[in-house]
Amino acid sequence: MPYLNAEFKKELVNYCVAMQNWLFDLTVRDVRSMAFQLAEKNHLDHGSDSEQQLASKDWVAGFLRRNPEISLRTLEPTSIGRTVGMGPRREDDAVGEFFQTFERALLLIMLIEQNGLCFYPAI
């Protein structure tokens, strides 16, 4: 028995690909949940367990096999080094330094133009 008709399958594939293009990693559980919700909201006979509110593992395995353009991720825990690196930014970091340099350059350009000096060399 088909879980979703061709139209809904195409809609789910397009959504998954769009999410990938927006760098939003989907998991197998996300796809199972979306397929279940799509079937429920459209009153499709899906035969899945309504308690878990997920499409079956067999269905999603076949769905992914038939749609190789969908790439799902397995989430991994964040390392302590990365967690520490995600802390508050300091003023001396590379981005802060860039904006300080940019601000100084703008001030220098304004001073040069106010004093009538030639900023662009003659060619």
Q: What is the pLDDT of residues 10-60, one digit of tens each?
A: 888 888 888 888 878 888 888 888 888 888 887 777 666 667 888 888 888
Single-letter amino acid code for the residue at 41: K
In a domain, 87, yes or no: no
Contacts of 26 (CB under 8 A, 6+ apart): 16, 19, 20, 70, 72, 73
- What's the pLDDT at 1? 39
Domain span holding position 20: 6-66
How many structural domains is the chain composed of?
1
CA 80 – CA 1 distance, rounded (Å): 47
In a domain, 107, yes or no: no
Q: pTM to 2 decimals?
A: 0.56
In a domain, 84, yes or no: no
CA distances from 34 to 24, 31, 123 (A): 15, 5, 62
Calculate ∠ Cα 7-47-8, nearest 5°. 10
